[in-house]
Copies of this chain bind each other. A is one copy, B any other.
Amino acid sequence: MPATDASELLDAALAGDRRALGRLLSYVEGGGGKAQRVAALTFPRSASPDQVVGLTGAPGAGKSTLASGLVVEARRSGPVGVLAVDPSSPLSGGAILGDRVRMQEHAGDPGVFIRSIASRGHLGGLALAVPEAVRTLVAAGFPLVVVETVGVGQVEVAVAGAADTTVVVVTAGWGDSVQAAKAGLLEVADVLVVNKADRPGAEQARRDLAAMLDLGPAPGGWRPPVVLTDATAGRGLPELWAAIRGHRRWLAETGCLEERRRARLLAEMEDVLVRRLAADARTSHEGAVWERVTGAVLAGRLDPASAAAELLASVAP
């Protein structure tokens, strides 16, 4: 009979049982008491990951192929875990499995673990499920973790914020570099990649990105390098990995690594706190007050912000 206890599962995962690790990650996705037990168990064993690399950019930029190629490079430094983040739709709660087909070249390698992650029952959504999943991989013996996200929105920016090093992928064919700036991507990038560099315009895209980086101040002194890759042909991947590791060294040397990780932990704690307060908010109001205030909103008499203020006042001590 397979283990279901988090502690036994972690022991099994450390002994190479991939299904045990998969189950731990399912617990994290599902949220609730099981997720919390996994979190409590893995947290003290994941304090010092080698490097958490976030890979983000527009759909169609070739991130999955790039991630697969990066794994080949990263693998030389140790075991590698990959999380492919699938944002659940807020409407259906469903998630489409990441494109794991391109990752099959790693199927026989015990030092590579690849997994799609959604946020089915997790109270905190992806923004909180991802750091817990990362810690689970680290505790299970994968100190290098690559987190690949799907989109270019603020959730992706938030998930990228959970990484030590954020790699932003664009292609020359994706549109001009102004679009990358508009999406707020330049500001979170530690390393920039122009993928599909075999296509016309790649060198121009590299120059555009470099010029835009010149406009803003280098955050904390790090100037994001721009790397050209052709992930399908495997070109540029050693250079990309070298840039990622260069950022890791810079983080460690300047003390930013420790500082960023501490700030992330506190932000995560406050985020959980807020979400639990939110979950309690509705139940903590008397039914009559809630009905009266929402009735006023629906009748067009009270705007939502004023209604919230009135509800808060009704429970103030």
Contacts and interface: CB of A to CB of B under 8 A. Distances in A.
Nearest to A98: B182
Interface in A117-154: 124, 128, 131-132, 135, 150-154
Given A173-B173, A281-B270, A281-B273, A180 B300 contact: no
A305 B39 contact: yes
A289 interface: no
A313 to B, nearest CB: 11
A218 interface: no
Contact of A277 (B92, B153, B155, B312): B312
B265 A298 contact: yes
A221 interface: no
A157 B187 CA distance: 22
Interface stretch (A3-11, A73-81, A82-90, A222-230): A82-90
A44 B302 CA distance: 8
A190 B206 CA distance: 37
Given A58-B59, A59-B182, A274-B278, A265 B39 contact: no
A115 to B, nearest CB: 16
- The A contact surface, by secondary structure, is helix
A304 B269 contact: yes
B306 A36 contact: yes
A252 interface: no
Interface of A: 35-36, 39-40, 42-44, 47, 58-60, 86-92, 94, 96, 98-99, 124, 128, 131-132, 135, 150-158, 161, 173-176, 178-184, 187-188, 219, 262, 265-266, 268-274, 276-278, 281-282, 293-294, 297-298, 300-309, 311-312
